[in-house]
Amino acid sequence: MNQQLTSLDTVLAYHERTKHNFQRYAMGPDHIDWDTQPDSFRRYAGAERFELPLVADTLDSAYVDLYRPGAIAPQPMNLNTVAALLELSLGISAWKQYGGSRWALRCNPSSGNLHPTEGYVVLPNLSDIPAGVYHYMSHDHVLEQRGLFDEKGAEILDATLSSGRFLFGLTSIPWREAWKYGERAFRYCQHDIGHAVAAVRYAAATLGWTVQLLDNWADAEIVTVLGLDRDDDCNRAEREVAEVMLCVNSKSSLSPKSPCPSLIKSGEILSVMADVKWAGKANVLDHHHHYEWAVIDTVLEATKFPEKILSAMTAVKWADEADWIAPPLPPLPSISCTSRAADLIRQRRSAQMFDGVTPLSREAFYRLLDSTLPRHNAAPWDVFPYLPRIHLILFVHRVTDLSPGLYVLLRRAGIEENLRAALQHEHFVWLKPEACPEHLQFYQLVSGDAQTIAQQISCHQEIAADSAFSLGMLAEFEARLKNRPWGYRRLFWEAGIIGQVLYLEAEAVGVRGTGIGCYFDDAVHALLGLTGTCYQSMYHFTVGSPLIDKRLQTLPPYAHLDS
Ligand SMILES: Cc1cc2nc3c(=O)[nH]c(=O)nc-3n(C[C@H](O)[C@H](O)[C@H](O)COP(=O)(O)O)c2cc1C
């Protein structure tokens, strides 16, 4: 059996065994000892620290302008603006306090607030910081200098990035998530990466910048450039795994007509990594590790983006995914949101309860759906270079002038026939609702109260029923994975990006969203009449009018730095 097939089998087996179902949840710890929760902040002791200014408050870009190509003048790239990007993507957005407990929230959400994602920037020489590889320590809002380029390295880095660009790498520490969620944790790490990619993209847009996902970088190359393979710096500390390398561009103009700038190649940068001077020792996050979830290491290995994928052996047609260009669509319908982008990004929260009463206007609902559709060269979807493979199954509860029921939104053309054939219920009517914007492929499948079923399949969570609507993200699973086991991670990233879009868009129309990672996979498929693994549900989400828990105190994000 060749390696491709073996990896694919591993992925399929992992997906199957980590399904929750009515009779049994995926394997996880028998009990959780909250006192032994892993440290949610990675630190590199001994690395030189560069304190970053807190500048998000000075950014005036309007949230609605993030989507309008050319509306925000690009800011110059310097330590201040890089700091703003970090503050608004992975930075702390508030502290919550209840009784004796206090916990940080961040601009990027995370399953269980466990935050397995770490961020790095690879910067060329800037006036206040030398060319190097830096870990972002969000608790202190500092950059820790992991790697320092020598003069020649800095020159090559400068030339490769050409002025105005830098790299932004994302990694995961799976143990943070596995500590609580066991085997299913790999999925949540990947959702979180999708959320973080979108968070970086939105933060860049507030500065008038663009972001590309460097899909020409193998995981092993990301490992080398970020220094993740440096055993001496880790000792017993939990290892980080490479996820994705992004390129932030402070100069490219955002216009539907401008061509995408070419992708930065890893080769030149890798050629100077041997001369980088490394510093810093990673902290141990959890001294106990009572459980081991070996299957996570196995699926991580099976889904690595391999080196030399572009070489001969890869007559495999994977380029169909990466060469996709979004079709022209009408601009997003306007909304009355007047918030500054920086405020809206930092006010994003997960709703813990919904009021179960307040309807969402039909206009706001359609705007939310519309914002999940990729638009060419427009934020945030321009960061995701692949053919959309995820479609939405919606449980509509409270939307004005739209009957409650089960609906579907197709996120790309050319899939309807296949999906209609796959959703095997004859009573699905496939009716386009009245007043639905022409370009939305949005259909009612069946009308009726969908609250009970929505709650049941989302692990009985009331947030799926008391909202205005909840949804499941249905992936073209087999088509995406065929010959490309690494496509598994990318499906979760796509789902996470959709989630982040919905989180921010919900805030913009005056309601609130919550990601739902806990759902009964095959119950969703059965509800839709799906058999086999052609389509699989990857993530759920819910949006509505939140009830705020007044017992929780909210504290400012970085007041602790003043003391
Ligand atoms: C991938 C993912 C899965 C999540 N799953 C659930 C869930 O099943 N139920 C829930 O109440 N919240 C869920 N959440 C919300 C998180 O608990 C929340 O993001 C976290 O506590 C941080 O709070 P914040 O989003 O307000 O910053 C999920 C979030 C993410 C990103």
Dist. CA 221–CA 263, nearest whole Å: 15
The Cβ-side half-sphere exposure at 432, using a 13 Å CA radius, reads: 10
CB of 347 shorter than 6 A to ligand 1:
no
Dist. CA 460–CA 451, nearest whole Å: 11
Strands (E), 231-375: 241-249, 277-278, 281-282
Dist. CA 382–CA 260, nearest whole Å: 9
Whole-number mean pLDDT of the chain? 94
Residue 316 binned pLDDT confidence (cut-offs 50, 70, 90): very low
Residue 314: the pLDDT is 47
For residue 7, pLDDT over 60 is answered with yes
For residue 2, pLDDT over 70 is answered with no
Instruction: Please tell me the distance between residue 515's alpha carbon and the centre of ligand 1 in angstroms.
Output: 5
The ligand 1 atom nearest the CA atom of 105 = 27
Residue 3 binned pLDDT confidence (cut-offs 50, 70, 90): low
Q: How is residue 301 written in tokens?
A: 């290995």
For residue 281, pLDDT over 90 is answered with yes
Q: How is residue 21 written in tokens?
A: 């179902």
Nearest CA to ligand 1 atom 6: 516
Q: For residue range 209-263, list pLDDT tens digits in order.
A: 999 999 989 999 999 999 999 999 998 999 999 999 999 999 865 555 555 667 8
CB of 495 shorter than 6 A to ligand 1:
no
Instruction: Please tell me the distance between residue 255's alpha carbon and the centre of ligand 1 in angstroms.
Output: 34
Instruction: Please tell me the distance between residue 325's alpha carbon and the centre of ligand 1 in angstroms.
Output: 31
CB of 191 shorter than 6 A to ligand 1:
yes
Q: For residue range 379-415, list pLDDT tens digits in order.
A: 999 999 999 999 999 999 999 999 999 999 999 999 9
Q: List the alpha helices (DSSP H) in 248-313.
A: 267-271, 294-302
Nearest CA to ligand 1 atom 22: 113
Mean pLDDT to the nearest integer, 261-278: 92
Dist. CA 151–CA 149, nearest whole Å: 7
CB of 92 shorter than 6 A to ligand 1:
no
The model's pTM is 0.97
The ligand 1 atom nearest the CA atom of 187 = 1
The residue whose two tokens read 């060419």 is: 376
